Structure 1
Amino acid sequence: MSNIHQFSSKETIQAEASEWISAIDRGLSNEEQKQLNEWVIRSKAHQETLFTLAKLWDEMGVLNELSSLFPDKHTQLNKPSPWFGLAIAASFIAVLLLGYVVLTHSSSWPSSYADETKFSKIYRTKVGEQATYLLPDNTIVQLNTNTKLEVAYTAERRQLILSRGEGRFNVAKDASRPFTVAAGDKSFTALGTVFNVQRNSASDLELVVTEGKVMIADPSVQVYAKDFTKLKSAVDSSDSVRALQANIVLSGEKALIKESITNPIKPLSIDDVQRDLAWQHGMIIFNGEPLSEALHEISRYTATRFELVDPELRELKVAGVFKAGDIAGLLDTLHANLAIEHQRMGEHIVSLRLGKKS
């Protein structure tokens, strides 16, 4: 790890603190508690940010857990937060916004089950835009930057086509109508689940399952209610799965499809899942990727493209948390941490080179 350049900024600390709050909420392992202790004592800014966010979190379990982990902070946690009123106001505004979304989209929703079975719609996000949609069956779809998703519901199936981009699917249970997302050369059928699909090209795809399990198959495979019960209890070695030449991906696992071939399924750590799904919180996390790969990922969220003048910059390994689309913040961080200078070559092109050594 010594050759990985770690970036630090206020946004990075806030993002890391948010991840710890989320981890505390679900429950820390002994190893994670040790790591949290080390993180907290590393910087006063870490402590202050963690406890400030904890007081805004709406789960008392987080506050109680922090009180037990850091008894000297107990009194601080019990003091009314100066942000408490603003947090309530923000929640109230969120409810109003949700009501607005419901009202503005309700005209396109089915008014009966008969209408719902004929539901179809196309959802799009622009470059740098993210959006969340509630489908008629209460499935929640969150779309990342530059994404196009086609939805078609019938009486027997819920079929979606991810033409480009990335989406997270929190699928409403309905055993009578299987839920399938087709993307490029593969289809992903939910078997009671929450999952994320990223389409890099028709033959290069990524699947992360965070709840339940998903079956990867050829797009020509049609899953109906009569197949669903059998598949829901299936594993990779099941005859029904082998007959379809399919793969089963479980919660906490990731599948990479390269050139239309599904690579061996691999388990993910909690950190891996948080990194892969950081986009859902408007963030991008790197942990030792080459700078060229990091810049390619950042370019998904903006029209800006990067040119690396010095070849050695391509393999420079970086780690840190960035706000998606914040090019100015990225360039400032690269300059402050790695002495990388930039020059704008046009409205959407930035040239990067190593700064002169003093």
Structure 2
Amino acid sequence: MNKVTPLISKEQIQEQACEWISRIDRGLEDRERNQLQLWIKQSDNHQSSLFEMAALWDDLSVMHELSGLFPLAEKSNADAQQSRVFLSRPFMATAASFALLCSIMFMWMQWQPQSDIPQQVQAQSQVHETSVGEQKTIALGDGSLIALNTNSAVEVNLGDKVRSIKILSGEAHFEVAPDANRPFVVAAGQNKVTAIGTAFNVQLLENKRFELLVTEGKVLVSEINQSMPDDIHKLKTDDFSALGTIMVSGDTAVFDGFFSEPMIRLSLDQVQRNLSWQQGMLVFQGESLEYAIAEMNRYTAKQFVLKDEVIKARRVAGYFKVGDTEGLLHALQNNFAIEHEVVGDVIYLNAAQSH
């Protein structure tokens, strides 16, 4: 079994450094001092981030503690004192709360949704799209919401008898407002998904295939040409057997006119992880590095290419802001000793050569 290596971004390291600074300020126990030394030895980035945060903390007791633990802190101590000449009194007065604010700011920045206030759509028929790296939330005139992921497009037609959506490309999540007189139908590939008071996610794949994840309620999946009764919202579950396949909250499957892969039931945590893109995040929990790189490539114009076959199968865990090219390169260097070379819009990744 391949070992799962956690990918630690620069922001995560800085957040951890903030937590250590806070502990140092209130006084370290012997056990904590040993843990700090181990954390420092794990990476040079840990040490540099710790000193950087300590300088901003602006407390001589913290720098004194660090100088006793690590010789390099003496230089940081001198740099910190020199920087104090340029610090205003208001800044110094608020420095004591820096670690707490630092942690909160990192978490807030990482988990902010990429979309602004939903763009309301009243028009009968309209195409909505996002560019690479862009995400957008659209409020339809009926009260439904569509969250578009990167490089995606949908065609919306709010008719008198049916609300029709067609996935043209990419990925979208739908929160459907109830309307007994107008079914909400999403066409994707060779199938259509009819909402029955629900929320669900659709990602269009290659060769007219698509992946469906139901996040609330239930949906009916049928072939694109399957006719539907006008009173579909009045039907009971047993009545749907002749029309298609019923999927409920937590169910996910890939379709190609029929099931191309078995239906899977996901836990709540797995569902939330699959939808983390709505918060502008990508979460990996043991997937291959090749898969992780392919996901990152969806969100940036610059494309990553893994040149070494041996590193493709390495399994990773961690979370990143979508499109955070610098953060990913930092994590790959820090965790895998993977170097990169930029050629135009392509970033080639290679295992570092031992000297």
Shorter-chain TM-score range: 0.5 to 0.7
Cα distance in 2 for residues equivalent to 1:325 and 1:121: 28
Question: Unpaired runs of 5+ in structure 2?
Answer: 16-38, 40-99, 106-112
RMSD, aligned CA: 2.9
Cα distance in 2 for residues equivalent to 1:14 and 1:357: 28
Max radius of gyration: which structure? Answer: 2
**Deviation of residue 290 (structure 1)?**
1.3
Q: TM-score, with normalisation over the residues of structure 2?
A: 0.68
CA contact (8 A) 1:304 1:349 kept: yes
Match of 2:174 among 169, 192, 195: 169
CA contact (8 A) 1:178 1:223 kept: no
**Deviation of residue 328 (structure 1)?**
1.1
Query: Corresponding residue for 1:78?
Result: none
Structure number with greater CO (CA < 8 Å, separation at least 6) is: 2
Instruction: Verify: 1:109 aligned to 2:106, yes or no.
Output: no
Cα distance in 1 for residues equivalent to 2:283 and 2:291: 12
**Deviation of residue 258 (structure 1)?**
5.4
Cα distance in 2 for residues equivalent to 1:157 and 1:258: 24
**Deviation of residue 294 (structure 1)?**
1.2
Equivalent residue pairs, number = 263
Query: Corresponding residue for 1:241?
Result: 240
Question: Unpaired runs of 5+ in structure 1?
Answer: 16-42, 44-80, 87-93, 111-118
**Deviation of residue 221 (structure 1)?**
2.0
Would you identify which runs of 4 or more consecutive aligned residues in structure 1 move more than 4 Å?
10-15
CA contact (8 A) 1:149 1:164 kept: yes
**Deviation of residue 132 (structure 1)?**
0.5
**Deviation of residue 11 (structure 1)?**
4.4
After superposition, the Cα gap between the structure-2 partners of 1:10 and 1:259, relative to the gap in structure 1 and judged at 3 Å, is: farther
Query: Corresponding residue for 1:6?
Result: 6
Cα distance in 2 for residues equivalent to 1:14 and 1:356: 28
Instruction: Verify: 1:152 aligned to 2:157, yes or no.
Output: yes
**Deviation of residue 9 (structure 1)?**
3.3
After superposition, the Cα gap between the structure-2 partners of 1:326 and 1:192, relative to the gap in structure 1 and judged at 3 Å, is: same
**Deviation of residue 148 (structure 1)?**
0.8
Cα distance in 1 for residues equivalent to 2:256 and 2:347: 30
**Deviation of residue 306 (structure 1)?**
2.1
Match of 2:348 among 348, 351, 355: 351
**Deviation of residue 2 (structure 1)?**
6.6
* Correspondence list, 1:6-85, <5 A: 6-9=6-9, 11=11
After superposition, the Cα gap between the structure-2 partners of 1:303 and 1:164, relative to the gap in structure 1 and judged at 3 Å, is: same
Q: TM-score, with normalisation over the residues of structure 1?
A: 0.67
After superposition, the Cα gap between the structure-2 partners of 1:339 and 1:142, relative to the gap in structure 1 and judged at 3 Å, is: same
Query: Corresponding residue for 2:326?
Result: 328
After superposition, the Cα gap between the structure-2 partners of 1:7 and 1:137, relative to the gap in structure 1 and judged at 3 Å, is: same
**Deviation of residue 167 (structure 1)?**
0.6
Query: Corresponding residue for 1:27?
Result: none
After superposition, the C-alpha distances for 1:200-222 in whole angstroms (9 at most, x for unaligned) are 22432111111100111111123
Cα distance in 2 for residues equivalent to 1:279 and 1:261: 25
Greater shift in the superposed pair: 3-12 or 184-193: 3-12
Query: Corresponding residue for 1:214?
Result: 219
Query: Corresponding residue for 2:136?
Result: 131
After superposition, the Cα gap between the structure-2 partners of 1:132 and 1:224, relative to the gap in structure 1 and judged at 3 Å, is: farther
Query: Corresponding residue for 1:196?
Result: 201
CA contact (8 A) 1:171 1:194 kept: yes
After superposition, the C-alpha distances for 1:281-315 in whole angstroms (9 at most, x for unaligned) are 00111111111111111111112222222110111
Matched letter for residue 249 of structure 1: M
Cα distance in 1 for residues equivalent to 2:134 and 2:187: 22
**Deviation of residue 344 (structure 1)?**
0.6
Cα distance in 2 for residues equivalent to 1:109 and 1:162: 19
Matched letter for residue 241 of structure 2: R
Matched letter for residue 273 of structure 2: R
Q: Counterpart of 1:193 in 2: which secondary structure?
A: strand
Cα distance in 1 for residues equivalent to 2:101 and 2:306: 46
Cα distance in 2 for residues equivalent to 1:185 and 1:13: 46
